[in-house]
Amino acid sequence: HVKAHGKHDVQLFSPDLDAHRRARQGLECALRGALDRNEVSLRYQPLCDLAGKVVGAEALMRWKHLELGEVSPERFIPVAEDLGLIVPFGEWVLREACRQAAEWRLQGLTLRIAVNVSPAQLACADFPDQVWAALARAQLPAEALELEITERLVVQDGAQTAGVLETLGRQGVRIVIDDFGVGHSALAYLLRLPITGLKIDRSFVQQLQGRGNSEQGTERVVQAVTSLAHSLGLSVVAEGIETVSQRQRVHDLGCDYLQGYLLAPPLTPSDFESWWRAHEVQRQREQNAGQSAH
Ligand code: C2E
Ligand code: MG
Ligand code: MG
Ligand code: MG
């Protein structure tokens, strides 16, 4: 419907775009005050080894706004990145996750805490200082912290990021490539940077069932990535395990650690503690049953 409403009425052609823009502005505005209003919290999703032992937890950000309700990180993190808010948000996540991990340690729940890091954070020259401060404040050893960074980042921005990663690696912090396999395939950085592990993207894991050609292709990819990683001394996490058969496949294909809804979804700190205790009891029971069977 092309009507003559004056030359500035461009949005008349696409009312959706206008609604979209307004929603985005609302989101931006709400997001700016989110930290100050204590609307941001963390959930923790366990990572287990092949024997089922809990070895780590990934901290995942949640944002609940009074009017907007729960906003998914898939939606608000890109906005926070655009607005430069991810730097203060990320620093808060780092501090809170380290604090929580230290508290769990005192309770005898020792694990590695994984924190997602955005490109903009690694572009800050003082990022290693932020990490160091968070560790020192919580009195947590550097080895207890794992930073998850994306492939996109390491491939894009060479020198600056490499320098920051170098410093972090020297400090003893573990660095993992998240969502491995969906981005660029410039593998040289695996040798060049102090990477300690890979997380194979969920999209691969979810193609592991069935016997079709594409599933067989995916199996080969996962197997190849795993053996490449192992030959470089890197550990491999399979993320997004939802079914018993997926767990069996990644187990057979040689992945070291598992994460996914099959084990547990991201949990509040207190739910995580109860889940952990119940999981450990169950595991001990199975272990004892296995021993007495022999
Ligand atoms: P990610 O780091 O790859 O985290 C894994 C995502 O997959 C999480 O989504 C998790 O809830 C979800 N997930 C875990 N297991 C399963 C499963 O078995 N099936 C399915 N379908 N999904 C599963 P979430 O929490 O919505 O986070 C989405 C993304 O947002 C994260 O992807 C990460 O890239 C980003 N993110 C979350 N928290 C932070 C943060 O504190 N800082 C930064 N920079 N990014 C974050
Ligand atoms: Mg992650
Ligand atoms: Mg991931
Ligand atoms: Mg992913």
pLDDT surpasses 70 at 103: yes
Residue range 200-250, pLDDT digits in tens: 999 999 888 766 667 778 888 899 999 999 999 999 999 999 999 999 999
Residue range 217-229, pLDDT digits in tens: 888 889 999 999 9
Residue range 39-48, pLDDT digits in tens: 999 999 999 9
CB-based contact 80:63 (threshold 8 Å): no
Q: How many CB atoms lie within 10 A of CB 104?
A: 19
Token pair, residue 47, equals 């990572």
Q: What is the mean predicted confidence (pLDDT) over 164-184? A: 90
C-alpha 287 to ligand 1 mean position (Å): 31
- Average per-residue pLDDT for the chain: 90
Residues with CB under 5 Å of ion ligand 3 are: 178-179, 239
Amino acid 185: pLDDT: 60
Question: First CA to last CA across the chain, in angstroms?
Answer: 78
pTM of the model: 0.92
Amino acid 154: pLDDT: 67
121 vs 261: CA distance, rounded Å: 28
CB-based contact 163:127 (threshold 8 Å): no
More confident position, 123 or 132:
132
Q: Give, in degrees to the nearest 5, the angle at Cα 139 between 195 and 121.
A: 45
Atom of ligand 1 nearest to the CA of 148: 2
pLDDT surpasses 90 at 156: no
Atom of ligand 1 nearest to the CA of 117: 44
pLDDT surpasses 70 at 188: yes
CB-based contact 120:77 (threshold 8 Å): no
Backbone φ and ψ of 194, nearest 5°? -80, 55
CB-based contact 45:266 (threshold 8 Å): yes
Contact residues of ligand 1, CB 6 A cut-off = 45, 60-61, 72-74, 77, 90, 93, 116-118, 148, 178-179, 202, 240-242, 260-261, 266
Amino acid 126: pLDDT: 93
Which residue, 124, 126, 188, 115, is CA-closest to 151? 188
CA 275 to each of CA 44, 70, 178, 265: distance values in angstroms, whole numbers, following the listed order: 11, 23, 25, 10
